[in-house]
Amino acid sequence: MKKFLIICTTLAIIACDNSNCQKENESLRKELKECKALLSELQNTPQNRLAEIESLINENNLDSAKVKLHRFSEKFPNSEEYLSAKLAVNKLEEKISSEKKEAEAKKALGFKVLKETNNVDIAGVNFKFSATNIQKRWAFDDYGNSYFYRDAQRGNSFICTKVSITSSTEKNPQLCPILAYYLKDGVLNLIGQMKYKFQRWKDYGAYLGNYSDYKNDFAYTSTIPFTCGLEFQDGFLAYPIYIVIWHSTCVERNYERFENPPIWYANNSSCNIPKVLKVEDFDFNATLVKVIKK
């Protein structure tokens, strides 16, 4: 087709002399315009039209896709490509309509649309929650014949949960923050972040760091049981309390030989805990573990 345009142009130029050059130039422009229109029409095959519509669908550009589909129907209404394009546009329209209804439901129902889950996978690490509740005592670091605990101060309680964490491949995975929020005026407000503690140790010597406990080391075992707790003021019990896992792998393992125990998990500098959560945060960044209503 490009050769055709070149031939048209060359013939017109050869035919042009000094006396009628302007007239021939105008004729040339007209011929070029007609050639371009013909080329454009020849390029608009059913296959190319389908490809254009599919590209618009991938961009979620429904309006432009529908315009292209209408023009397609005028030229090739019975082609297989048109029928495929029509089906694809209809699917996109249904998808956008469904997403719009879901967004309207979220807006109307707020956090009521969220579902609790006790099994969460994030970045190759599985978090399995159990026994999530309000207590006056938080127990941890059980080493056989004894354990450690913290009692809540007067007017305070603990939010506690047990979480079994499994890392399928990573030998030193970073964990995710487990957070507590209270619901007020349609917004989740941060109470605080729960601390990670090991549920158990082989014995008191392992707790002291005299020797290693491989069952508390992901380099040697895939699953480690933790207990998490947060002390808070009882005034928050007037509101629904939401236990949330935040999808940020920013809680890391620390070691200090003369600490008891010598191993613990704490936030690194990349942790950015949100003080307020909205419903849309649960689309990708957060998962609801449990709602505690008092």
Contact present, 244 and 292 (Cβ < 8 Å):
no
Task: List the chain domain ranges.
Answer: 23-109, 114-292
Give the total residue count for the chain.
Answer: 294
CB 178 within 8 A of CB 243: yes
Confidence of residue 6 (pLDDT cuts 50, 70, 90): low
H-run or E-run covering 22: helix 21-43
- 263-283 pLDDT, tens digit per residue, is 999 999 999 999 999 998 999
- Give the other-Cβ count within 10 Å of 265's Cβ: 17
Alpha-carbon distances of 69 from 13, 46, 62, 287, rounded to whole Å: 40, 11, 10, 40
The CATH number of domain 114-292 is 2.60.40: yes
Q: In what order do the strands lie in the sheet with 178-184?
A: 276-277, 187-193, 178-184, 241-246, 286-292
Q: Which two tokens stand for residue 197?
A: 């503690």
Residue 288 is predicted with a pLDDT of: 97
Rounded CA-CA distance 46/19 in Å is 46
pLDDT (tens digit per residue) in 122-180: 999 999 999 999 999 999 999 998 999 999 999 999 999 999 999 999 999 999 999 99
Asked if 174 and 246 touch (Cβ cutoff 8 Å), the reply is no
Residue 246 has pLDDT above 90, yes or no: yes
**Cα→Cα distances 177→139, 264, 272, 286, Å:** 19, 14, 10, 10
